[in-house]
Structure 1
Amino acid sequence: MKKILPYLHPFFFALYPIIELRNFNIAYVDSASLVRPILVSLLSTALIWGLLRLLTREWTRSGIATTLIVVIFFSYGHIFLQIQSTFGEMIRHRYLLLVFAALFALAVWFIFRRMKNADRLVNFLTVAGAFLTLFSLAVSIQHDFAVYQSAREVRAAMESARQEADQSNVGARPDVYVILLDAHTSAYALDKYFNYDESAFTNRLEELGFYVAQCAQSNYPATKLSVTSTFYADYHREDTLFPLYSSLVVETLRAQGYRVVTFENRSQGHFSFGEDLRLSRNQMLAGKIDLTGGLSEFEFQLLETSLARLPFDMPALIPGFDLAQQKETEFYEHYQQTFFILNELKRLPAEVEGPKLVFAHFLVPHPPFIFTADGKFDWNENEVDGYLSNVEFIDSQITGVVQEIVAKSKIPPVIIIMGDHGPSGVPSKDTPHLRMEILNAYYVNDAARADLYPNITPVNSFRVVFNNYFGTDYPLLEDVSYHAGRFEDFTPENAVSNECMGSR
């Protein structure tokens, strides 16, 4: 063991920043999202150390230099962002790079020319790296274990709170589709804030048999908060985001023999459904971890807080590096995945035996705005035009999708088409009210339709569905929209009124 320890410190420092960044965003990043960054980090560290060993013919000092490179790489972005937030735009990469380069050159000179006792520094780096990594890992594991324990407790609580279906009142079990259009606002908001008429889309949904809640708002302004409360059919009352596999909706439907089907996308780390089937264009490790697809939101944040942000901020530094081309390549994967989900949804009624709960999360009209109105790939950086063209595109596609789902289903399905919050990536239009306005449309039986109303919020969606399909008697909750992202801020002071209802 003593012979191995001196060779571990570069890998400790390669692990620590990734785990710690996850801890900083722990409610939104699941542990599976760490696998690919950790693999890349460890392999890159080993490669750098191997190259330095070839150049210096010395393991100990080249290992110290490797740790130095790793620390510089992962700390650069954090330091740049901190200085920028403190002093504004006065800080530029060229100046900070000079400082880092000078410190690096001085450190390398000291390591290879002046340092007499390298073993002492190795021991310090090993202990420090191990402490930081293990402490950070413990925090991460503690959170995951707490979520697991909480999920068990919530599941037990749900068992007591979950009303058993009245079997005498349960007919044939319909497939249930939740189609989430990320950042899709309401027709009312599109008209008021964007001067855009979406009536052709909402009228078409109504022709297909949907009830469109014209004044619907989200309960929360962020995806994970909104979706979790939808599937738990309740407001967030604890300071933990529980996994969706223990939610009221999933537990109720599983008790009725439903399978869970989801789709892979760039934000898959947000949710843990315990799905029976996850459909993806990419080959996945153990059916859970995508090693070949585009960068996740967590990986983008990791790049932004490291030295890897340089090519994106200063593409001229790297000959042949085309930032626009790199982004378009990444966005095109998202473009293809969107069409994959659209096409697979049409096939599901016939190809996957029911009953099933299907969750399809479209990152449209969420940025990047890469769809023209007629479905061509075009990265539009104009925030308003881009948002509206993406709204027009996804509206035109969804009507055809739900029409086929209904036509191919042996039993009339339940379909909920919802936004999770209002527009993202349109800062010139952003207001608390716009952030909370959402699309909310239901394809349900006549009994459920009679219980729907214009300003229904997602926490009540499945209460209405279960009461009218499974004979439960869940009371409807007060419809409240909290424009806040932290649990302690879900207070009446941060509740947003419904402008749409006030205008009626």
Structure 2
Amino acid sequence: MKRRLEAAFRGPVVFHPALFAAFPILFLYAYNVSETSISEVWLPLVISVTAALVLWIVLSLMLGSKAKAGFATVIFLLVFFSYGYVYDLLKLGMFDPKHAYLFSGMLFVWGYCVYLIGRAKRDFRIATKFFNIVATVFIAINVFNIGVHQLNSARMNDATPEESLNQTLASPGESNALPDIYFFVLDEYAHPDVMKERYNYSSDVFIKNLEHKGFFVASRSKTQSSDTPLAIAQVLNMDYLDSAPWSDSTYRRIGQSEVANLLKSAGYQYIVFGNNFATYTWEKYAKNKVDFYFNYCGYNSSSMATEFMYTLWSITMLKPFYVYVTGNEHDNSFRCETLYMLDRLKTLPELEGPKFVFAHFICPHTPFVFGPNGEHVAPANSHSYEDKQFYINQYTFISTAIEKVIDVLLEESDVPPIIVLQSDHGPRSGHFKFHYPVGANDWQKILNAMYLPGMDIDTLFDDISPVNTFRLVFNHYFGANYSLLDDDREQ
């Protein structure tokens, strides 16, 4: 036994299995570093490296060579961390893969590779040295990118805020006469025309109900960005921005926006409803700016519900077991989060003092967790864009639910509130979502509805850009003098 152990662990230094086990996690973190806390990385990193080392030791004993075992371990890591991509590619090709078959098939492929490696006459010394170098380079690149980001982020936190638009707001009266201002964003909410063309669904009743309540609905409004952070940042800073959509600069412009700063200087309380996507970025950039921060996921969800952990599970061979292990916590957290926001918003008229309320609903964006009347959706269908009905159902639910919130705000507010209801963008074609062509017109055309008490809405125009929303509000209600930007600016 002793000789067998000595033989198994004799040969070149093998450390690449541990590095390759860490690489996918570090790469995912580096790619999403602006949105993910480093605290989410440590647990999966330790588990992955430990599991890889255990597998390498077991295979070393089985194959009698630590070099061969290292090569076999790397192949397993490749199979393990590519499972989700293979599954999605098969599904994209109109083939409905069964996890049982795909999982078994990929394990069989790996097992056969181990068999071939065990029978090989080579000692894998050169391959081991090569993999050691490649793994080291991969890790070094990601650590460098993460380090550069953290350094730039620290500098950004210490830097003075971006130059403002050099305007101040004149108070229209006593604080008890100031209107509350609500800014609601419905994520990936399609324009009514797109719903008719792509989904054969009419939202005319919802639009007419809004207009009957006194809303102006801009029928030709377009966003200039298909990426949520940049789309929201442009509205909250009343300008077209050139920053990268998912960068720290963009998130900072959301957390420390021109609109919020101006309203706070005018005596407004700043209230934010966070969500599962924005927990880290809001706490990073807006923690000391908001007066009230409501986040169901931050209060009630475990680390398994975060986007980082869910994405990590989704790309690995753990994908088939996520629902059973976590109780589908990720999707359930979105459902509970949306219901929490809808209920909590209805209580805000009771809060004294003028308020600026920002609420970003991850709805009707996936996961699909609502039927048309709020019913639960089976986990297997929560990310199914292939059947358009799941998107339609969630679209119907949030339309009805947000209308009920609006009714309460209009009825319970002592001073008629200002309400802005917009989608960040319409349906997009990325991430294997759609099995039909999606053009720029689909995501550019958005819902843009505004309740502006006391304003002659006949003076407004149907193609108003969302970046002009608060320029319009501040000019009319606060005596500002903003010029309106071009409504069809090319990005």
Same topology, TM > 0.5 = yes
For 1:221-300, what aligned pairs fall within 5 Å after superposition? Answer: 221-239=226-244, 241=247, 242-243=250-251, 244-268=254-278, 271-272=281-282, 274-275=286-287, 276=290, 277-282=292-297, 284=299, 291-292=302-303, 294-296=305-307, 298-300=308-310
SS where residue 253 of structure 1 aligns?
A: helix
Which amino acid counterpart does residue 331 of structure 2 have in structure 1? F
Which amino acid counterpart does residue 412 of structure 1 have in structure 2? P
Residue 75 of structure 1 deviates from its aligned partner by: 6.6
Aligned partners of 1:426, 1:54: CA distance in 2, in Å?
43
Change (3 A) 1:44 1:142: closer
Residue 440 of structure 1 deviates from its aligned partner by: 1.1
Which amino acid counterpart does residue 212 of structure 1 have in structure 2? V
The 8 Å contact of residues 183 and 419 in structure 1, kept in 2 or not, is answered as yes
- 1:371 equivalenced with 2:370 (yes/no): yes
The 8 Å contact of residues 18 and 52 in structure 2, kept in 1 or not, is answered as no
Aligned partners of 1:349, 1:108: CA distance in 2, in Å?
71
Instruction: Name the structure 1 match of 2:344.
Output: 344
For 1:176-215, what aligned pairs fall within 5 Å after superposition? Answer: 176-215=181-220
Change (3 A) 1:63 1:468: farther
Aligned partners of 2:324, 2:235: CA distance in 1, in Å?
37
Which amino acid counterpart does residue 263 of structure 1 have in structure 2? F
Instruction: Name the structure 2 match of 1:402.
Output: 406
SS where residue 479 of structure 2 aligns?
A: coil
Aligned partners of 1:31, 1:157: CA distance in 2, in Å?
27
List per-residue Cα deviations over 1:344-370 (Å, max 9, x = no partner).
11123325x544332222222223333
For 1:482-501, what aligned pairs fall within 5 Å after superposition? Answer: 490=491
Residue 417 of structure 1 deviates from its aligned partner by: 0.9
Aligned partners of 1:468, 1:151: CA distance in 2, in Å?
34
List per-residue Cα deviations over 1:320-367 (Å, max 9, x = no partner).
x5979989664333222221111111123325x544332222222223
Aligned partners of 1:282, 1:45: CA distance in 2, in Å?
28
The 8 Å contact of residues 20 and 77 in structure 2, kept in 1 or not, is answered as no
The 8 Å contact of residues 282 and 293 in structure 1, kept in 2 or not, is answered as no
Change (3 A) 1:81 1:49: closer
Which amino acid counterpart does residue 229 of structure 2 have in structure 1? K
The 8 Å contact of residues 190 and 446 in structure 2, kept in 1 or not, is answered as yes
SS where residue 415 of structure 1 aligns?
A: strand
Change (3 A) 1:238 1:376: closer
Aligned partners of 1:49, 1:199: CA distance in 2, in Å?
59
Change (3 A) 1:152 1:200: farther
Instruction: Name the structure 2 match of 1:496.
Output: none
SS where residue 364 of structure 1 aligns?
A: coil
SS where residue 428 of structure 1 aligns?
A: coil
Aligned partners of 1:66, 1:448: CA distance in 2, in Å?
73
The 8 Å contact of residues 279 and 295 in structure 2, kept in 1 or not, is answered as no
The answer to which of 433-442 and 180-189 deviates more is 180-189
- 1:471 equivalenced with 2:483 (yes/no): no
Aligned partners of 1:68, 1:274: CA distance in 2, in Å?
47
Aligned partners of 1:448, 1:149: CA distance in 2, in Å?
46
Aligned partners of 2:279, 2:364: CA distance in 1, in Å?
19
Aligned partners of 2:346, 2:298: CA distance in 1, in Å?
21
Aligned partners of 1:74, 1:354: CA distance in 2, in Å?
57
Which amino acid counterpart does residue 272 of structure 2 have in structure 1? T
List per-residue Cα deviations over 1:21-64 (Å, max 9, x = no partner).
233355xx4232x532432331453466579879999xxx9999
**Contiguous gaps of at least 5 residues in structure 2:** 1-12
The 8 Å contact of residues 49 and 62 in structure 1, kept in 2 or not, is answered as no
Change (3 A) 1:224 1:385: same
Which amino acid counterpart does residue 23 of structure 2 have in structure 1? Y
- 1:157 equivalenced with 2:178 (yes/no): no
Instruction: Name the structure 2 match of 1:22.
Output: 29
- 1:332 equivalenced with 2:344 (yes/no): no
Residue 406 of structure 1 deviates from its aligned partner by: 2.9
Aligned partners of 2:263, 2:66: CA distance in 1, in Å?
57
Q: 2:146 aligns with which of 137, 140, 143?
A: 140
Aligned partners of 1:448, 1:152: CA distance in 2, in Å?
44
Change (3 A) 1:478 1:134: same
Which amino acid counterpart does residue 401 of structure 1 have in structure 2? V
Q: Tell me the number of residue pairs that the alignment of Structure 1 and Structure 2 aligns.
A: 450
The 8 Å contact of residues 238 and 471 in structure 2, kept in 1 or not, is answered as yes
The 8 Å contact of residues 217 and 437 in structure 1, kept in 2 or not, is answered as yes
Give the TM-score normalised by structure 1: 0.72
Aligned partners of 1:68, 1:55: CA distance in 2, in Å?
8
**Contiguous gaps of at least 5 residues in structure 1:** 1-5, 312-320, 483-489, 491-504
SS where residue 157 of structure 1 aligns?
A: coil
| RMSD over equivalenced CA pairs, Å | 4.6
- 1:461 equivalenced with 2:469 (yes/no): yes
List per-residue Cα deviations over 1:95-126 (Å, max 9, x = no partner).
6544533455677899xx9799xxxx89x95x
Change (3 A) 1:146 1:322: closer
Residue 292 of structure 1 deviates from its aligned partner by: 4.0
The answer to which of 170-179 and 205-214 deviates more is 170-179
The answer to which of 250-259 and 89-98 deviates more is 89-98
Give the TM-score normalised by structure 2: 0.74
Change (3 A) 1:74 1:420: farther
Change (3 A) 1:9 1:249: farther
Aligned partners of 2:484, 2:358: CA distance in 1, in Å?
23
Residue 397 of structure 1 deviates from its aligned partner by: 0.9
Residue 265 of structure 1 deviates from its aligned partner by: 3.0
Which amino acid counterpart does residue 230 of structure 1 have in structure 2? V
Residue 77 of structure 1 deviates from its aligned partner by: 3.9
SS where residue 479 of structure 1 aligns?
A: coil
SS where residue 235 of structure 1 aligns?
A: coil
The 8 Å contact of residues 182 and 365 in structure 1, kept in 2 or not, is answered as yes
